[in-house]
Amino acid sequence: MVDKNTIFGGMLTTLGANKKTNCDALGIPWEPKYMLIGDANGTDPVPSASQTQLINQVYRAQLNQLRVSDKDPNVLIAELVLPPDVGGWWIRELALEDKDGVFCAVSNVAPSYKPLLEQNSGRNQVVRMHIITNGTSNIQLKIDPSVVLATREYVETRIQEELYKLDSKQSVRAATTANIALAGLQTIDGVNLVAGDRVLVKNQAAAKDNGIYVASSSGSWTRAADADAGAEITPGLVVHIEQGTANADSFWQLSTDAPIALGTTALIFIPALGRSGVAAGTYKQIVVDVFGRIISGSNPTTLAGYGISDAFTKTESTAAIQTAIAALVDSSPAGLNTLAELALALGNDPNFATTMTNLLAGKAAKSTTLAGYGITDAYTKADQDVARAVANVDTLRINGTYLVVAGTLGVLPMPGMLGTLLHQERGSSNGRWQLFSGSNGRLYQRSASYGDGTWSAWDGIVTESTYDSLDNSKIGYFYGLTMANHSAAPTTSVTVSPGVARSSGNETTISLPAAMTGLLQSSGGWSAASGGNKLDTGARAANSWYHLFLIKKTLDGTGNLLFSLSSTAPALPPGYAGFRRIGAVKTDSSGNIIPFINVGREFYFATPIKDVSTSTPANSTGTTTGSATVTLSVPPGVRTKVMAHIAMSSIAAFFYMRPTDSSAVSMAMVNGAITAWQAGIGANTSDVDYLAFPFECLTDTAASVTLQWQISSSGGTAYYAVATLGYSELN
């Protein structure tokens, strides 16, 4: 009987757990699709992982919503909406069924009657099922939109989420002008804040802390609901400032480019519209910023103030005349006793015109060359067809072809690279691009953004001839790349043969055109050269597994090698993106790589490795069974098919090796007729003293398998050993 002590909940069934584990191992998504409803024949059901069906199913329909809980990433929430014309029964038990018909989860619920419309009590009823899993990363959250009946809560939440993603945000009361403490009420730009005021914080010392906040009277400020997630903070975000001495009635825009990680990426806000700080008035000269806004104005009163350099000032004219007069006085001082005589001399002196011309040389003469006008950023006739050296590739503003030489500054595809640069632009800070032919024979290109004119990173233009002629467009493609350490003698290097493979995420193709050797170093950083250091971080350790990756260089697409302790997330060196795991090596107690043979995706140790040598517990009660999880010499982090030998001696016994996530098997000694025996290897020591058998088995990501046994002799102990011969990679 249901009462206050009754516990309701659900879990994955054994079938569901096995299905999800299998999907995880094969790298395919698990897709729950249907919800089943039952009345349990009027009983109070208790869900069990062993169930394969409901006690009494009354309804089955496709899910209306399937999502991961926002409070716990290991909880899956399935939702079904029952319309008014469905019902007439009690809801006491629920189940999930995937797209392949597997009964994968079961739950009991508090009893609820779903009426029909003709009972004058029709209603939409939402049924939700919460299932705890070991991880939801490989679950396909897929819903058929043609059958979805959304709840009002879902619709309102989705509308709010989409509104929060808009670039135009709700206005804020004030904006900061300096770094502040993000706590308590304070005065911002002359505005006395009250609790709940929205504030644009744009001047923090750590720009990652900038953003839109809500002021709090006690404790720390929190980010505003429409700007507290990465999807809501997008390049181009615009917000209006309502009040403030400096920022009132202005609009500010986020200039940071994507991708943006909130709390990590620096958020830079720039003025978009509104006050610029320049007083109203008439100006003869103005200064504008990159957005065309007037940021200062002036009214000069001199030739220099207007930038005019080819005219006499009053001072220069006076000095020239005085110099001419002094020259005349020196030539005939006796005849210049009065101003009248000076004026007459000036008018009659046959040398006066020549004297004044010489004094005014360089002032009144009209130049006939670019250099004469001080112009240095244009081609002359002499060099119009010849590329000249560029001083700085980042600040270049004139269209044309240039030489990049040893002294050229700015960001180049590779430091110190020489070559030829083609620069083109529209005459503003936007719409610029450059094409660079490097001294390594490759082409590179970059462009300036339309936001603030910042140059993008250089991209290598990779031609088709760079890649192998094989068909490498297939998803998961893998060819060649055979690993070898060449000798049974101690060594710390591996050589990989030429080959090509798709990256782990299938987003790019990586080619290794020639054999390359990689050293698993004890010290030193990673090196691109063949035979160089290839460990991503740290130093080589003894008795450890290292995964070997093929990695891709961003600029020219060439492949290289990298060792890592991680099977999925190697630390790539700068300038590399995209990787594919091609195998693994194990070090011995001295730190040397254990010799192996690689053919295709199979790996054999030059000498088998004995991983287990022990005995079963003593048997004192007659026939008994047991099991143990054993770790073998196969790479951790991935599933492999191990090739092993089991050896046993002493008493009569059966042994069976199986995956750790598989079910135990039924085993029985063979005495005359075979009865319940399903699998295993057995021996009776009355006939033989020692037996050894080969086994193949699927390992888990901890490099382990389960060893199951049955012993028939009372008072005996079975001795056994397991040696690993090698393994097969499954990718």
Q: Where are the domains of the chain?
A: 9-150, 165-273, 314-359, 478-599, 604-729
Taking alpha carbons only, the member of 358, 582, 550 closest to residue 483 is 582
685, 611 contact by CB (below 8 A)? no
pLDDT at position 225, please?
Answer: 85
603, 482 contact by CB (below 8 A)? no
Give all strands (DSSP E) within 99-197, no chain letters: 103-114, 125-132, 174-175, 187-188, 191-192
- Two structure tokens written together for 234: 């997008």
Instruction: Look at 387-391, 487-491, 506-510, 526-530 and tell me which has the smallest mean pLDDT.
Output: 487-491
pLDDT at position 633, please?
Answer: 95
The band of 672, judged by pLDDT with boundaries at 50, 70 and 90, is very low
Which range, 64-73, 323-332, 543-552, 703-712, is most confident?
A: 543-552
Taking alpha carbons only, the member of 66, 37, 32, 30 closest to residue 148 is 66
Strand order in the sheet with 222-223: 174-175, 198-201, 211-214, 222-223
Distances (CA, A) of 418 to 88, 389, 391, 441, 554: 81, 11, 13, 10, 19
Q: Is 269 exposed, middle or buried (0-12, 13-18, 19+ CB in 10 A)?
A: buried
Q: For residue 296, what is the enclosing H or E element?
A: strand 294-298
What string of H, E and C letters represents the secondary structure of 288-332?
ECCCCCEEEEECCCCCHHHCCCCCCCHHHHHHHHHHHHHHHHHHC
593, 520 contact by CB (below 8 A)? yes
295, 261 contact by CB (below 8 A)? no
pLDDT at position 545, please?
Answer: 96
pLDDT at position 280, please?
Answer: 79
pLDDT at position 146, please?
Answer: 43
Terminus-to-terminus CA distance in the chain, angstroms? 52
Beta bridge partners of 263: none
The CATH number of the structural domain formed by 604-729 is: 2.60.120
- C-alpha–C-alpha distance, residues 36 and 18, integer Å: 20
- C-alpha–C-alpha distance, residues 566 and 588, integer Å: 18
Non-local CB neighbours of 171 within 8 Å, separated by 6+ positions: 198, 239, 240, 241, 242
pLDDT at position 144, please?
Answer: 42
The band of 276, judged by pLDDT with boundaries at 50, 70 and 90, is low
The band of 227, judged by pLDDT with boundaries at 50, 70 and 90, is confident
Q: Which residue has the higher pLDDT, 285 or 427?
A: 285
Per-residue pLDDT reduced to its tens digit, 556-569? 788 999 999 999 99
- Two structure tokens written together for 289: 């910023």
Strand order in the sheet with 9-12: 9-12, 103-114, 89-98, 32-38, 57-62
Q: Which residue has the higher pLDDT, 652 or 728?
A: 728
Instruction: Look at 20-34, 95-109, 569-583, 664-678 and tell me which has the smallest mean pLDDT.
Output: 664-678
Q: Is 255 exposed, middle or buried (0-12, 13-18, 19+ CB in 10 A)?
A: middle
Q: Is the pLDDT of residue 395 over 70?
A: yes
Per-residue pLDDT reduced to its tens digit, 464-489? 444 443 444 567 888 899 998 755 56
- Two structure tokens written together for 643: 């090739």
Instruction: Look at 76-85, 225-234, 403-412 and tell me which has the smallest mean pLDDT.
Output: 225-234
Per-residue pLDDT reduced to its tens digit, 324-381? 666 655 555 554 455 555 555 555 555 655 655 555 554 444 556 666 666 666 555 5
Q: Which residue has the higher pLDDT, 245 or 1?
A: 245
- C-alpha–C-alpha distance, residues 706 and 657, integer Å: 6
- Two structure tokens written together for 71: 């409070």
- C-alpha–C-alpha distance, residues 237 and 272, integer Å: 11
pLDDT at position 340, please?
Answer: 52
Task: State the average pLDDT over residues 289-316.
Answer: 75
455, 413 contact by CB (below 8 A)? no
Taking alpha carbons only, the member of 190, 411, 697 closest to residue 421 is 411
246, 228 contact by CB (below 8 A)? no
Taking alpha carbons only, the member of 318, 203, 334 closest to residue 271 is 203
- C-alpha–C-alpha distance, residues 298 and 305, integer Å: 9
Taking alpha carbons only, the member of 214, 184, 211 closest to residue 196 is 214
* Cα angle value 115/116/122 (rounded, 5°): 80
Q: Is the pLDDT of residue 703 over 60?
A: yes
93, 109 contact by CB (below 8 A)? yes
- C-alpha–C-alpha distance, residues 598 and 623, integer Å: 43
**Parallel, antiparallel or unpaired: strands 238-241 and 250-254:** antiparallel
Instruction: Look at 10-19, 86-95, 410-419, 689-698 and tell me which has the smallest mean pLDDT.
Output: 689-698
Q: What is the DSSP string of 177-196?
A: SS---SBS--EETTEE--TT
Whether the bond into 73 is cis, omega within 30 of 0: no
- C-alpha–C-alpha distance, residues 475 and 473, integer Å: 7
Taking alpha carbons only, the member of 100, 126, 142, 117 closest to residue 16 is 100
In one letter, which amino acid is 8?
F
Q: Is 386 exposed, middle or buried (0-12, 13-18, 19+ CB in 10 A)?
A: exposed
Strand order in the sheet with 419-424: 388-389, 400-404, 419-424, 433-438, 443-447, 459-461
Q: Which residue has the higher pLDDT, 413 or 329?
A: 413
Percent of the chain with pLDDT over 70: 77
**How confident is the prediction for the chain on average, in pLDDT?**
81
Task: State the average pLDDT over residues 406-434.
Answer: 82
- Two structure tokens written together for 193: 């804040």
Per-residue pLDDT reduced to its tens digit, 535-558? 999 999 999 999 999 999 987 788
- C-alpha–C-alpha distance, residues 493 and 540, integer Å: 11
- Two structure tokens written together for 2: 């249901």
Q: What are phi and psi of 18, to 5 degrees?
A: -65, -40
Q: Is the pLDDT of residue 137 over 70?
A: no
- Two structure tokens written together for 424: 């083109």
Percent of the chain with pLDDT over 90: 38
pLDDT at position 123, please?
Answer: 75
Residue 640, classed as helix, strand or coil, is strand
Per-residue pLDDT reduced to its tens digit, 183-201? 999 999 999 999 999 999 9
Q: Which residue has the higher pLDDT, 717 or 606?
A: 606
Task: State the average pLDDT over residues 577-593.
Answer: 93
Instruction: Look at 181-185, 619-623, 725-729 and tell me which has the smallest mean pLDDT.
Output: 619-623
Task: State the average pLDDT over residues 136-154.
Answer: 51
pLDDT at position 413, please?
Answer: 85
Whether the bond into 259 is cis, omega within 30 of 0: yes
Q: For the beta carbon of residue 284, count every other beta carbon within 10 angstroms.
A: 11
Q: Is 311 exposed, middle or buried (0-12, 13-18, 19+ CB in 10 A)?
A: exposed
**Parallel, antiparallel or unpaired: strands 89-98 and 103-114:** antiparallel
- C-alpha–C-alpha distance, residues 134 and 75, integer Å: 9
- C-alpha–C-alpha distance, residues 620 and 614, integer Å: 18
